[in-house]
Structure formats: structure tokens, C-alpha cells
Copies of this chain bind each other. A is one copy, B any other.
Amino acid sequence: MRSTRRVFLRSAALTGVGGAIGAGAALPGAAAAPASAGSGSAASGGLVPFYGTHQAGIVTPTQNYLQFAALDMVSDSAADLRRLLRAWTHAAALMSLGRLIGPVRAASRPPADTGEALGLGPAELTVTFGFGPSLFGAKNTDRFGLAGHRPAPLVDLPEFLGDAIEPAISNGDLGLQVCANDPQVAFHAVHELIRLAIGTAQPRWLLAGFGRTANSRHQALPRNLMGFQDGTANIKVEDTAALDRFVWASEPASPAWMRGGSYLVARRIEIALALWDSTDLDGQQDAIGRQKLAGIRLRPMPPTSHIVLASPERNGGEQILRRGYSFADGIAVPSRVPAAGLMFLCYQRDPRRQFIPIQRRIAGRDALSLYLRHVGSAIFACPPGAGPGGFVGESLLG
């Protein structure tokens, strides 16, 4: 499957993705993707293929910056939804090559590309699209005729112990996970995708992140905003056997249109930083289950520690592929310390067997729960990738 992606990609770079790439190619200042693809630095130049068997941004080594948007359809027309997905696919493919999504030059019209990423290169941009449960509707609210196609694993997430979910920053008909190694490239992409949706869908919430969870053997282990290393026990994207077992959807649990896709669970988790910062080192380490400085597991392991209760051994061997991001957002009230948190993002083949039972086991029960508050929640079915000329979601809507 990985080699299939590479073939798609090489082909796209050489042919201009079926001619669609031409829109930005002649513009001065537009980064020419093929030229920079080979020489790009990790900081800004790298290119991640958009087209492929799987969508990019799932088993891509986590980039440094996130913009995550959820949108609700304002149109009830399946044709509009299809047009939007075509336009998004086209724009995401261009931006993944570091190109403009359209010309800036026509004086009497608004620029077709807003321009803020000009000259920054692709920066390993990925855009990953997902469908929320509400897109599929129910018997009386089946706006797009999709109710019969809702995947069984795309359940409404239950309420977990201690949840403090705010609807305004939860759920959504459509999910957009945008990741890049330059925050301005990520902003530009989500900005353009939201702009392309005007009249068809409008954003419900949007969150920026930094400080990724590691998911590759080649990444240093970063620390989260609690000061602990994160990602040690994560599935590694190089472990294709684990990806097939834990990440990629397949029949019969999933419908055929989701084959090669994955289910994303997003949880916006606030950290009670004032409380955490005033907790002694033993208390912090016992809550996590690791030494703060060295990152190694405590011996003996505290039975209510986060890593014990979240471990595959306690959860029927199940694992999830995490690719979360830290976020920080002004001052927390009433504690008046920096507001900080984790945008927990995880991919899996069936949330009913993975995220949900794992979270049921730890929510309100592990020693870390005292310091965390889940305020946002969403689930999306991320369909398989598209080939040149196709669009993401074609297997459902094409």
C-alpha cells in the first residue's frame, strides 16, 4: 500500500496531476514543487504525496504544526457536497506541492489564492478529510441520502466519566486535519479550504496546535505541556503490520467504501496546569507511570498510572495510532495560569474496539484524570485516498 502511494505521487509530480496543477505553475513566487521536492529541508521544503491508496496525514510522521477544523454543511444538496469534496481535493493536492490554488493576478477579482504561503514551500503539508456521524443523518434527517452508508464503527461517542464536553467545540459534519512543518503553511491551507466551502459548509470550530506526539522511529520524543515525553509506546508508522492490524479499516466491520480508510477520534483536553505545577514530582510520576527526566517506566508500576491503564495488555491487546498536538491559548480562568492542553488525535480501524474501551478504562480512573478535562470531542470516518482525477470521498459519493 505504501508503494502504491509512492507510484501515485511520482506520477503526479511528473504529469502535473492530470493537468490540474497548472493553475499556479506560471505565477511568479509560486514554489515549484518538483524542484523543491528533492531538496526540501525538514523545516519547510519537504513534500508528502497527496494522492495514494490511503489519505496522507494518517501514517505520515507527525509534522510540527496542526490546524484542525470541523465544518457543518449549510447546503442540503448532495451535489454541493460532491462539488466541495472535488474542490477540496484539487486544492489540497496543489497546496501539498507548495503551489497556489489559483491565480492571484486578475486585477478586478479577489485573488484565487490568498497568498500568505507564497515562497514557503510545501513544508510537508498534509490534509486529511473525514466525515462525521451527522453527515450520514438518520431516517428523518438524511439530507444527503447517506444514512444507509454509515459505517458501523462510526458510532456516536459515549459520554465518559468526567467529560465536560462543549458542543460548540465538538462534532461536525466534516473534519479537516491539516498538518505541516510551517505554521503559516498550515494556516494557509485551512484558510483556503474554509474559504472554498463558503455557501456550502461553514466552520464549527478550529484549533491550532504545535508540539506533536511522535509516531515514527526517526523522530525524537518530544515532551507534552506537562513536561513528560509522549509517544514512547505509540504505534510507529514504519510498522506496517501494526498499521494493517490496528489502523486501516476493512470489511466486514467497515463498508467497502471505507476500505483503506481509518477512523479518527479527536479529543480536546485541557490540562489543569496550576494543579499539575504544584504537584510534587512523585505525584506527577505516579500519575503518568514514568520518570519525568529519563522517561523510563517506574518500577514497580503504580496500578492507577496512565500508562498501566492505557496499555494494550489491559485492553485486549488493542492499540491506536496517536498523532496529537499540544495547544496553548491565553490565560486559563480562574486559575490565571497559561491555558494549555492536548488535542488528542488517534486513528484506528474500529473505535468500538479501540478508543472507546480504552477511554472507558482510564476516564476518571487513572491518576492522570485529576489533571485533565475533556472539553471537545469528535469522531470522523476518513475515507481512503484518491488517485489523480478522483476525489477524496469518491468511494462514498462518486
Contact = CB atoms under 8 A, between A and B. Distances in A.
Interface string A29-50: 1000000000000010000000
A273 B191 CA distance: 10
Contacts of A326: 184, 187
Given A184-B326, A207-B330, A294-B29, A227 B110 contact: no
B226 A338 contact: no
Interface string A10-30: 000000000000000001110
Contacts of A211: 116, 183-184
A205 B203 CA distance: 26
Contacts of A203: 331, 336-338
Interface in A320-337: 326, 328-331, 336-337
A281 B116 contact: no
Given A224-B116, A293-B28, A109 B281 contact: yes
Contacts of A228: 115
Q: How large is the interface on A (under 10, 10 to 19, 20 to 34, 35 or more residues)?
A: 35 or more
Contacts of A29: 293-294
Give how many copies assemble into the complex. Answer: 2
A3 interface: no
A387 interface: no
A205 B110 contact: no
A106 interface: yes
A238 interface: no
B110 A293 contact: no
Interface of A: 27-29, 43, 67, 104-111, 114-119, 183-184, 187, 190-191, 194-195, 202-208, 210-211, 220, 222-228, 273, 277-282, 284, 292-294, 326, 328-331, 336-338, 340
15 contacts: A67-B328, A106-B280, A107-B281, A114-B227, A115-B223, A115-B227, A118-B223, A118-B293, A119-B223, A183-B211, A184-B211, A187-B340, A191-B338, A195-B277, A202-B336
